[in-house]
Structure 1
Amino acid sequence: MASDQTPDFSTTDLPASPTPVLKPVTTETIKTALHKGVEDFRKAPLFGLFFGGVYFVGGLVLWLIAQRVDNAGLLVPLAFIFPLIGPFAAIGLYEVSRRQEAGESLDWGAVLGAMSRQKGGQLPFMGVVMLFMALVWIVISRVTFAIFLGNSASMTNIFSSMDVLWTPEGILMLVVNAAVGFSVALMIFSVTVIAMPMLLDREMDFVTAMITSVQVVLDNLEPMLLWAAIVVGLLIVGMLPMFLGLFIVLPVLGHSTWHLYRAAVEPA
Structure 2
Amino acid sequence: MTQHADQTSSTEESDNPLANTGIARVLPAADLAKFDCFKWIALGINDFKNAKVISLTYGIIFALIPLGITYLIRESEFYMVVFPAMICFMLLGPYLAAGLYDVSWQFEKQHKPSLRHSFKAMSRNAVNEWGFGIMLMILMIFWLRVASLIHALNPNYSDTSLASIWPFLLIGTIVGGAFSVFVFVISVFTQPILLERKVDLATAVLSSMNAVWKNKEAMFVWACVILISILLGFFTAFIAFIFIMPVLGYATWHGYIQTIKTKRARKFV
Same fold (TM over 0.5): yes
Query: Take 1:227 and 1:264, find their aligned partners in 2: how far apart are those partners?
Result: 13
Distance in 2, Cα, partners of 1:248 & 1:266 = 29
Q: 2: distance between equivalents of 1:153 and 1:214?
A: 39
Please show how residues 1-268 of structure 1 align to structure 2 within 5 Å.
Answer: 20-115=27-122, 117-118=123-124, 120-147=126-153, 149-150=154-155, 152-154=156-158, 162-163=160-161, 165-167=162-164, 170-267=165-262
Contact in 2 for aligned 1:73/1:141 (Cα 8 Å): no
* Mapped partners of 1:113, 1:123: distance in 2: 12
Describe the shift of the 1:75–1:110 C-alpha distance in structure 2 as closer, same or farther (beyond 3 A).
closer
| Cα RMSD after superposing both structures | 1.9
**How far does residue 107 in structure 1 lie from its aligned partner after superposition?**
2.4
TM-score by length of 2: 0.83
Answer yes or no: is the 8 Å Cα contact 1:77–1:141 preserved in 2.
Answer: yes
TM-score by length of 1: 0.83
CA distance in 1 between counterparts of 2:157 and 2:184 reads 36
Distance of aligned partners of 1:187 and 1:255 in 2 relative to their CA distance in 1, 3 Å threshold: same
Query: Gaps (5+ residues) in structure 1?
Result: 1-17, 155-160
Q: Which amino acid aligns with 2:150?
A: T
| Number of aligned residue pairs | 239
**Moved beyond 6 Å, runs of 4+:** none
Q: Following TM superposition, by how much is the alpha carbon of 1:171 offset from its aligned partner in structure 2, in angstroms?
A: 1.3
Q: Percent identity?
A: 23
